[in-house]
Homo-oligomer: A and B are copies of this chain.
Amino acid sequence: MDADETGLRARLVAVGVDLVLSEGQSAVSLREIARRAGVSHGAPRRYFPTHVDLLSAIAREGFADLTARVEQTMRDVGPDPRTRLTALARTYLDFAAAHRGMFELMFRHDLLDSGRLRLRETSLPLFAVLADLVAQVRRPTDAPAAVLAGALWANLHGIAQLWAWGSLPLATGATDDDALLRAALDAHLGPPPT
């Protein structure tokens, strides 16, 4: 009745999450997961017919984690929408930086079965939170709320991506990405209230 006495399926996913967090996306092979879970290399096949299915399940865990963190942030921060948006953005970037391997996996559409596992739907609640906040701070002359939110999300995502790539600080000369984050928020939402 130990904690690891759970089903093999859940254990495989858990091991995979640990692996992608510690060793990066390329280390998450079927056989390595099976090895660390203490089963033979063919065992995962019962629950995940193909490698993609297992990776997708791991990525789902990543989205769930990110969503939980964002919700926690939303609980901790005050009511001002602009402040909440800033906190959300920072949480997003922090997650990308702290769990780089997982973040990579989550958006590797070539590795994921985004269709059958409804992976995109898993990320929708997250977008809904963003869209809701954006709608609250939107100015009349701005683009429609959905578009504005999409553009802002793309900006956050691009910052995370390029920052991970290592080229942004080199190009902008900035040592941190906080300036970029503030610039992006100011651009899409207007100047901060101070």
Indicate the member of A156, A168, A184 with the most B CB atoms within 10 Å.
Answer: A184
* Beta-carbon contacts under 8 Å, A114-161 to B: 114, 120, 123-124, 127, 131, 141, 143-144, 146-151, 153-159, 161
Q: How many copies does the complex hold?
A: 2
- Asked if B158 contacts A123 (CB within 8 A), the reply is no
Q: Is A47 an interface residue (CB 8 A)?
A: no
* Partner pick for A146 among B131, B164, B173, CB 8 A cutoff: B173
Interface size class of A (residues with CB under 8 A): 35 or more
- Asked if A127 contacts B171 (CB within 8 A), the reply is yes
* Beta-carbon contacts under 8 Å, A53-82 to B: none
In the assembled complex, the Cα of A132 lies from the Cα of B115 at a distance in Å of 41
Question: Which residues of chain B have C-beta atoms less than 8 A from A166's C-beta?
Answer: 109, 114, 120
Question: Which residues of chain B have C-beta atoms less than 8 A from A188's C-beta?
Answer: 187
Against B, the Cβ 8 Å flags (1 = close, 0 = not) of A162-191 are 101111101111100001101110111001
Chain B: which residue is nearest A141 at the CB level? B191
Question: Which residues of chain B have C-beta atoms less than 8 A from A32's C-beta?
Answer: none
